Structure 1
């Protein structure tokens, strides 16, 4: 299997294999080597569903985006060729991923619930989907939660600092958490210095009270739902064990 992985990386030099299919296949092989093919395939599928949520939302707003790219243990992302022109558009694109990703995890959950104990791997995939979408809703840029809450106020990113700090305290050597924390530093500084009446960015963050209420309701509702589902599926997996 390691030889297969090496050949895949060799084939990705400068050709068209460095695309969604190629990077997805690399991730599939890596995850399968550790967790098994079934779980790996389900997990990659949910990552793809999440990113396609962003992709569809961006295209609905007329933004040009690239296809998803995957990196093992780092997740996946889509390349934004056009930047959002206001915070509401950024929030819309940011919400698309967790929303569609949650639907994908929910589909896995219902399928696993209707099957026998041999579907434990599928329930584990559902748990991973719920947990990762919940993690992504931490109100801290560059996570999706930071992009969604920006339409309310960038100052809300400060609420994500203690959450990320707690996660780092629990997992001090986690490279993904460390990378996100480093990327978040300039955004936290921006949030600390944010002034709603600053003319340099006032136009970007202008939104009606109705718009802010809509996104606040969607964000809090999705956050609560994912928290409940993550907890419940975790308990179900513990019971099966």
Structure 2
């Protein structure tokens, strides 16, 4: 609660109005399909994810806009100041899935304590949302994190994106794939010896390893929890 109050304190009234208004529109849209309480929980987890990005960007002195929501497409923050180097970009990117995962775990344990399948379903959406965002292709968070290793990692993420698009086709996934296409082309043409690339991507190998381990660890935990909670929801067995 204290963390949320601190995050809200960093938002000006106009930003709060924009965020609150678009959150409300999203809640209403999701409620038509999934019901009010699920919609509130899902949008709440989206908000916490985005505030992770917001807080990390502000910590690094970047000017960023408040979270904006669009139903069935998700949410994002606008970067008014671009990161000066790839480590800053990775730092801001990983903060969203990290804080979002903590929130999903909170809802999961709450579900176990109350035997609530609704809360369990909300926690599943949180685990899956953050796992999806860790796909190693830009503009998703995973692409911005793995860029610290090399933008060429996006060439591995592209087939995963296409596979997911075929497995779970949706307009939102299609839009993300379209946004990722120019980044994949950029990775294909990446020249590590170009002066601008050396300036932006030059970080110590220790830092690359640290972010790589955090990324793999968080991805593994989210993959396990997504599968675990999905099995709990589909088995029909009591908790």
| TM-score when normalising by structure 1 | 0.90
CA distance in 1 between partners of 2:15 and 2:53 (Å):
23
User: Which of the numbers 124, 140, 157 marks the counterpart of 2:154?
Assistant: 157
Matched, 1:179 2:175: yes
Matched, 1:48 2:44: no
Q: Quote the residue 2:136 is aligned against.
A: 139
Q: Quote the residue 2:31 is aligned against.
A: 32
Closer/same/farther in 2, CA of residues 22 and 199 from structure 1, 3 Å limit = same
Q: Deviations over 1:215-238 (max 9, x none)?
A: 001000000000000000000111
CA distance in 1 between partners of 2:131 and 2:208 (Å):
21
Matched position secondary structure for 1:203: helix
User: Which of the numbers 222, 230, 233 marks the counterpart of 1:226?
Assistant: 222
Deviation at 1:17, TM superposition (A): 8.8
Matched position secondary structure for 2:193: coil
| Structure 1 unaligned blocks of 5 or more | 1-14
Deviation at 1:195, TM superposition (A): 2.0
Deviation at 1:240, TM superposition (A): 2.7
Matched, 1:170 2:167: yes
Which has the larger helix fraction?
A: 2
* The 10-residue stretch of structure 1 (217-226 or 178-187) with the greater mean CA deviation from structure 2: 178-187
Segments of 4+ moved more than 4 angstroms: 15-18
Q: Quote the residue 2:95 is aligned against.
A: 96
Matched, 1:190 2:199: no
- C-alpha RMSD of the superposition: 1.4
Matched, 1:215 2:211: yes
CA distance in 1 between partners of 2:192 and 2:15 (Å):
45
Matched position secondary structure for 2:114: coil
Q: Deviations over 1:55-110 (max 9, x none)?
A: 00001100011111111000011111111010000000000000000000000000
Contact 2:38 2:118 in 1 (8 A): yes
Matched position secondary structure for 1:23: helix
Deviation at 1:18, TM superposition (A): 6.3
CA distance in 1 between partners of 2:233 and 2:196 (Å):
50
Q: Deviations over 1:27-67 (max 9, x none)?
A: 11111111111101100100000000000000110001111
Q: Quote the residue 1:6 is aligned against.
A: none
| Structure 2 unaligned blocks of 5 or more | 1-13
Deviation at 1:196, TM superposition (A): 1.5
Closer/same/farther in 2, CA of residues 113 and 210 from structure 1, 3 Å limit = same
Superposition pairs of residues 55-70 of structure 1, within 5 angstroms: 55-70=54-69
Q: Quote the residue 1:7 is aligned against.
A: none
| TM-score when normalising by structure 2 | 0.91
Q: Deviations over 1:117-146 (max 9, x none)?
A: xx1111000000000100000000000000
